[in-house]
Amino acid sequence: MKKQPNRADDEDMRAEYDFSPENIIARGPGHKKAHPTTIHLAPDVAEVFPDEQSVNDALRLLIRIAKTELKYAR
């Protein structure tokens, strides 16, 4: 037999409590980390970069170059 909801409990809840499913985030072992960003490199590109630090360094250099080029283009 299903348990009937207790209306008294519902009335005691504050309006700002929101238990909708999209607000529940599982944390801990075996669960996803908060807001992971995963990028898959093409195999030929992955051969050039041994780890994520080298990819980040190369992208930061590219960002600096692009900003410098934009500055001179004005």
19 is written with which tokens?
A: 């238990």
Domain borders along the chain are 39-74
Tens digit of pLDDT for each residue in 4-13? 665 555 567 7
pLDDT at 44: 95
Q: Is 2 exposed, middle or buried (0-12, 13-18, 19+ CB in 10 A)?
A: exposed
- 31: pLDDT confidence band, cut at 50, 70 and 90? low
**Total-model pTM:** 0.47
Contact between 49 and 41 (Cβ < 8 Å)? yes
**Whole-angstrom distance, CA of residue 48 vs CA of residue 35:** 27
SS3 of the chain: helix, strand, coil, percent, to 5: 50, 0, 50
Tens digit of pLDDT for each residue in 50-65? 998 999 999 999 999 9
